[in-house]
Amino acid sequence: MTAAPSPALDTALAYHRAWTGHDFDRAMTYIADDIACEAPAGRLQGAQAFRGFMEPFTHILTDSHLIAAFGDETTALLMYDTKTLPVESAPGAECLTVKDGTITHIRIVFDQAPFIAAQNASNGS
Amino acid sequence: MTAAPSPALDTALAYHRAWTGHDFDRAMTYIADDIACEAPAGRLQGAQAFRGFMEPFTHILTDSHLIAAFGDETTALLMYDTKTLPVESAPGAECLTVKDGTITHIRIVFDQAPFIAAQNASNGS
């Protein structure tokens, strides 16, 4: 579900389609060099750190579904569900700040607990 | 930050203001009797189960801050940060479905990991 068109939402959705479509090189074309990303594990500064966090996730991503997406001139807000190799349903939400077609800030919310549980189960096996 | 007014967003924000303001009786006036809530720990069915999940969280809530909020006719999407007794920063996101001024479905995304870690630390002390 999407609200009225917004420049920030257009960019956020283009980025979202790229990474959920396993084209991370294309996804990175929407990311500012000096992006700041606030993720559950902490703050990431710069495009390289961001890619190091986000790209590995796309390697375990097997499916995704956009739940809702809204935006205005500078901000986009997305919620989506993902299916991953270790976790069957791993929904996430992102609040993205967009400037001149480039994403300068992302706040990501998701539940780390099932990934930690899957990792612990894997280590224990 | 809020987008153009929407009926769903009005209701979602009224509910949000009530629970973050520690008035859970008022918060429940916006919740449908047959609400379905998809939370990190699983699916909750009905207002009583929902209250049993959400109200205890307000008892540990010490501060909150709305990060972004958007909506259309039937759907609202919120991201917020909360400060709680066990966890300093616990952001969450909610996608709410609203029908006739009442919330019939909420999908909540937040990170359970720091709450589990705090609980484990508490149990170990």
Residue A47 in any domain: the answer is yes
Residue B68 and residue A95: Cβ atoms within 8 Å?
A: yes
- The answer to whether residue A73 scores a pLDDT higher than 50 is yes
Q: How open is the CA angle A98-A45-A20, to the nearest 5 degrees?
A: 55
Residue B74 in any domain: the answer is yes
Residue among B3, B40, B75 minimizing CB distance to A68: B75
The confidence score (pLDDT) of residue B125 equals 56
Residue B1 and residue A75: Cβ atoms within 8 Å?
A: yes
Residue A115 in any domain: the answer is yes
* Per-residue pLDDT tens digits for B63-80: 999 999 999 999 999 999
Find the closest chain B residue to A93 by CA distance.
B93
Residue B1 in any domain: the answer is no
- The answer to whether residue A2 scores a pLDDT higher than 90 is no
pLDDT band at B23 (very low <50, low <70, confident <90, very high): very high
3-state helix, strand, coil in chain B (%, to 5): 35, 40, 20
Q: What is the pTM of this model?
A: 0.94
The confidence score (pLDDT) of residue A63 equals 98
Q: Which CATH number do you get for residue B15?
A: 3.10.450.50
Measured between alpha carbons, how far is B54 from B3 in angstroms, rounded to an integer? Answer: 26
Residue B32 in any domain: the answer is yes
Tell me how far the alpha carbon of residue A118 is from its chain's centroid. 20
Residue B110 in any domain: the answer is yes
Residue A1 in any domain: the answer is no
**Is residue A80 within 8 Å of A110, Cβ to Cβ?**
no
Compute the mean pLDDT over every residue in chain A, rounded to the nearest whole number: 95
Residue B77 and residue A68: Cβ atoms within 8 Å?
A: yes
- The answer to whether residue A125 scores a pLDDT higher than 60 is no
Measured between alpha carbons, how far is A93 from B93 in angstroms, rounded to an integer? Answer: 6
Count Cβ atoms within 10 A of the Cβ of residue B62 and give its class: 0-12 exposed, 13-18 middle, 19 or more buried: exposed
Compute the mean pLDDT over every residue in chain B, rounded to the nearest whole number: 95
Of all residues in chain A, what percent carry a pLDDT higher than 70? 96
Residue A2 in any domain: the answer is no
Using a CB-CB distance cutoff of 8 angstroms, which residues of chain A are in contact with residue B91?
107, 109
* Range of the structural domain that residue B33 is part of: 7-120
Structural domain count of chain B: 1
- What's the whole-number mean pLDDT along residues A64-78? 98
